[in-house]
């Protein structure tokens, strides 16, 4: 066949422009695509040779070779796979999205299809070569055809291609990229090797390049005629767990995470069913510096049939588990045309849900272990990652109960490590709620006057001091059937824990102090919604609380620090009728100043900030001198 010029089908000019300029965000992707296509071609030959061993000709070892010519400015990707006939070259290279791989897959049945390590499901991967090349030449011969039935296909990607018959001794395909000006970096061994290592390291076939040695006389690296593999050709996660040592797992983690420490834990599983995938996931021992950046991409690498697709497959792991590192290798995950963005689908959701459950399972194993060392591992994990895990309570309703069991808090019984299950197991007889208080620090929470009655009765209160806790509490309403109740909201109601005598005494105090309460309400009308006698105070004269449904003082401060406007609502002042300072109020000549000081002290004890500190100091000084 003499050289013939053909027009591409289907407005190829515009489509090629899209492929080479818009479809791929990273130009080095072209090498991944072409190596993947070469791997596919070898796999196709392997399958066809099951019925016709003669197709192997005199080269039974399948391989991919990558070479370059600096003078000619060409980069060549060669394989000794199935190759193409003239008709196949015209059909598959002359038509966008005419995928030979997809057609081949359609012909496979049963177990053959399951085992086929075929990668490219779209017919555009080949054209990604035009990202770096202004001309692509393909020389190919189909296995089983004579040497004089080789084919040369050539195009500048401008709407036409040339086709001619050549003599090609070896079967398979050579894709020759004539690089554009400015793309000389792909004529460097280190650049090509590093790209192959990044994207195609785990392709099961050997990927060979010519070895380089140091020429002392010329003082430079010289390319030899010896070929050497540049990929490992074995995916760690595809091997049986029994074949992998803990040291190998740890080294692989360090390689993919760039961490210097071994991971805290890992899980390695092959999932079969409607979606087939392998997962190798790690929990780091220490928090990364960018843990608090919620916009940070996830740490899970996505492979499809051991070919690297993306570094940060965020769709496969929820945001609150963004610290998880690892690999997910899918057998049949649907990708978009560029293979760089996941299409949201049932398969993607199934992998995300399955991976989330595996990670939570790892954490549960550590948290519930009877082994002291494992428990300590979880305690260390919680210190670094606990606040991030709390984000999941509002993001992952499906696993809300599992997450709540993993949470650890400080309480009036312990400074750390208290689980909600621990708390419930220690609840007093007749206690109906899980009590908590939020504060800016552990010290502020511990010494809050709102805890006095609880401390007196030995009732445990959770001390929540993380910034995320207020947000978490807007989604976590109960645990094990017990509601969570703030000790700083509403009138204190201890239910069965408060005896009748205490209730009666409180009612009598409220009645006796009614004139004083009315006077305080008038004096503090611009600062307090209400003033009432309380039973929650033992040693302190007063405290402030907010009503159920109102924004707590702690949350209001957090919103202000974040530059947001908190809903305006006045707190309620509660006074201890038994306290000497409160009794001194009645009939005092400095009633107004004492009332204001009492309120200011309650604000300070709650962790708040005074709107007019100078006025407070002035009143205190006047009272001290008076």
Residue 92 contacts residue 100 (beta carbons within 8 Å): yes
pLDDT digits (tens, 9 = 90+) for 292-322: 666 666 678 888 877 777 777 778 889 899 8
| Pairing relationship of beta strands 277-283 and 325-330 according to DSSP bridges | antiparallel
Place of tokens 């996941």: 342
CA angle 297, 299, 303 (to 5 degrees): 105
| Pairing relationship of beta strands 207-215 and 64-69 according to DSSP bridges | parallel
- In 3D, which of 484, 472, 489 has the Cα closest to residue 411? 484
- In 3D, which of 229, 208, 230 has the Cα closest to residue 76? 208
The residue ranking higher by pLDDT, 370 or 234, is 370
| Pairing relationship of beta strands 277-283 and 265-271 according to DSSP bridges | antiparallel
Q: Which helix (H) or strand (E) holds 581?
A: helix 580-585
Concatenated DSSP letters of 170-216: SSEEEEEEEEPTT-GGGGSHHHHHHHHHHHHTT-SS-EEEEEEEEET
The residue ranking higher by pLDDT, 52 or 488, is 52
Confidence tier at 422 by pLDDT (50, 70, 90): very high
Confidence tier at 534 by pLDDT (50, 70, 90): confident
Q: What is the mean pLDDT of residues 67-83?
A: 95
- In 3D, which of 374, 387, 248 has the Cα closest to residue 322? 387
Residue 14 DSSP SS3: helix
pLDDT of residue 611: 85
The residue ranking higher by pLDDT, 306 or 325, is 325
Confidence tier at 70 by pLDDT (50, 70, 90): very high
CA angle 364, 366, 368 (to 5 degrees): 65
- Measured CA distances, 174 to 87, 104, 130 (Å): 17, 20, 16
Q: Which helix (H) or strand (E) holds 366?
A: helix 346-367
- Rounded distance, CA 486 to CA 548, Å? 9
Asked if residue 10 has pLDDT above 60, the reply is no
pLDDT digits (tens, 9 = 90+) for 125-137: 788 898 899 999 9
Confidence tier at 106 by pLDDT (50, 70, 90): low
- Rounded distance, CA 357 to CA 112, Å? 31
pLDDT of residue 309: 77
- Rounded distance, CA 19 to CA 24, Å? 7
In the numeric block, which tokens belong to residue 319?
């945001």
In the numeric block, which tokens belong to residue 362?
């790892």
pLDDT of residue 457: 87
Residue 559 contacts residue 565 (beta carbons within 8 Å): yes
Contacts (Cβ under 8 Å, ≥6 apart) of 499: none
- Rounded distance, CA 420 to CA 423, Å? 5
Asked if residue 499 has pLDDT above 80, the reply is no
Q: What is the mean pLDDT of residues 430-454?
A: 89
Strand partners, 335: 342
CA angle 235, 236, 239 (to 5 degrees): 90
* Half-sphere exposure for 112 (CA within 13 Å, toward CB): 15
Confidence tier at 114 by pLDDT (50, 70, 90): low
Confidence tier at 18 by pLDDT (50, 70, 90): low
pLDDT digits (tens, 9 = 90+) for 385-404: 999 999 999 889 999 999 99
Residue 555 DSSP SS3: helix
pLDDT of residue 104: 58
Q: Which helix (H) or strand (E) holds 16?
A: helix 12-18
- Measured CA distances, 201 to 230, 305, 306, 479 (Å): 8, 12, 8, 47
SS3 string, 246-314, reads HHHHHHHHHHHHCCCCCCCEEEEEEECCCCCEEEEEEECCCCCCCCCCCCCCCEEEEEECCEEEECCCH
- Rounded distance, CA 433 to CA 420, Å? 12
- Beginning with the edge strand found earlier in the chain, give each strand of the sheet holding 542-545 in spatial order: 530-533, 572-575, 542-545
Residue 542 contacts residue 528 (beta carbons within 8 Å): no
Question: Whole-prediction pTM value?
Answer: 0.73
pLDDT of residue 121: 46
Most confident among 113-117, 152-156, 255-259, 454-458 (mean pLDDT): 152-156
Q: What is the mean pLDDT of residues 183-208?
A: 90
Residue 537 contacts residue 544 (beta carbons within 8 Å): no
Asked if residue 119 has pLDDT above 70, the reply is no
| Pairing relationship of beta strands 530-533 and 572-575 according to DSSP bridges | parallel
Per-residue buried b or exposed e for 452-471, using 16+ beta carbons within 10 Å of the residue's own CB? bbbeeeebbbbbbbebbbbb
CA 609 to chain centre: 37
Mean residue pLDDT of the chain comes to 84
Q: What are phi and psi of 73, to 5 degrees?
A: 55, 50
Residue 544 contacts residue 599 (beta carbons within 8 Å): yes
């Amino acid at each position: 066949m003499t050289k013939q010029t053909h027009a591409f089908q289907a407005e190829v000019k515009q489509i090629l422009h899209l492929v080479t300029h818009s479809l791929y965000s990273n130009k080095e992707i072209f090498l991944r695509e072409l190596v993947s296509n070469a791997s596919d071609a070898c796999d196709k030959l392997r399958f066809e040779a099951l019925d016709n061993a003669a197709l192997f000709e005199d080269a039974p070892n399948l391989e991919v070779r990558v070479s370059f010519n600096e003078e000619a400015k060409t980069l060549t990707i060669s394989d000794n796979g199935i190759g193409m006939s003239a008709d196949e070259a015209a059909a598959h290279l002359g038509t966008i999205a005419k995928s030979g791989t997809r057609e081949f897959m359609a012909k496979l049945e049963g177990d053959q299809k399951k085992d086929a390590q075929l990668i490219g499901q779209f017919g555009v991967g080949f054209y990604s070569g035009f990202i770096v090349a202004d001309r692509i030449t393909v020389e190919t011969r189909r296995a089983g055809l004579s040497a004089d039935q080789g084919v040369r296909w050539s195009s500048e990607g401008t709407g036409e291609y040339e086709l001619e018959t050549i003599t090609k001794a070896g079967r398979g395909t050579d894709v020759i990229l004539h690089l554009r000006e400015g793309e000389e970096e792909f004529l460097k061994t280190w650049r090509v090797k590093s790209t192959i290592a990044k994207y195609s390291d785990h392709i099961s076939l050997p990927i060979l390049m010519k070895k380089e040695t140091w020429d002392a006389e010329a003082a430079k690296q010289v390319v030899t005629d010896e070929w050497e593999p540049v990929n490992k050709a074995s995916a760690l996660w595809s091997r049986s767990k029994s074949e992998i040592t803990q040291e190998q797992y740890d080294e692989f983690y360090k390689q993919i995470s760039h961490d210097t420490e071994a991971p805290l834990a890992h899980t390695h599983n092959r999932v079969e069913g409607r979606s087939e995938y392998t997962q190798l996931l790690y929990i780091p021992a220490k928090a990364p510096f960018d843990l608090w950046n919620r916009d940070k991409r996830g740490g899970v690498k996505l492979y499809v049939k051991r070919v690297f697709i993306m570094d940060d497959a965020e769709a496969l792991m929820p945001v609150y588990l963004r610290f998880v590192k690892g690999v997910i290798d899918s057998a049949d995950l649907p990708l978009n045309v560029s293979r760089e963005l996941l299409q949201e689908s049932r398969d993607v959701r199934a992998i995300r849900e399955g991976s989330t459950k595996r990670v939570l399972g790892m954490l549960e194993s550590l948290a519930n272990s009877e082994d002291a060392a494992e428990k300590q591992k979880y305690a260390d994990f919680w210190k670094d990652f606990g606040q991030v895990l709390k984000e999941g309570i509002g993001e992952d309703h499906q696993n809300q109960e599992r997450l709540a069991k993993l949470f650890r808090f400080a309480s009036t019984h312990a400074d750390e490590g208290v689980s909600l299950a621990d708390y419930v197991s220690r609840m007093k007889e007749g206690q109906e709620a899980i009590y908590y208080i939020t504060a800016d620090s552990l010290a502020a929470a511990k010494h809050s006057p709102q805890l006095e009655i609880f401390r007196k009765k030995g009732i445990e209160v959770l001390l929540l001091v993380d910034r995320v806790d207020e947000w978490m509490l807007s989604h976590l309403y109960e645990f094990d059937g017990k509601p969570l109740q703030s000790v700083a909201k509403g009138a204190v109601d201890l239910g069965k824990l408060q005896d009748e005598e205490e209730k009666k005494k409180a009612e009598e105090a409220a009645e006796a102090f009614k004139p004083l309460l009315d006077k305080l309400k008038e004096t503090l009308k611009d600062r307090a919604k209400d003033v009432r006698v309380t039973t929650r105070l033992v040693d302190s004269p007063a405290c402030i609380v907010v009503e159920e449904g109102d924004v707590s003082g702690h949350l209001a401060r957090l919103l202000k620090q974040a530059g947001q406007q908190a809903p305006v609502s006045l707190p309620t002042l509660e006074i201890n009728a038994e306290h000497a300072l409160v009794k001194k109020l009645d009939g005092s000549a400095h009633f107004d100043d004492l009332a204001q000081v009492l309120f200011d002290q309650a604000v300070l004890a709650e962790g708040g900030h005074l709107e007019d500190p100078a006025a407070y100091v002035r009143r205190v000084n006047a009272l001290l001198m008076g």
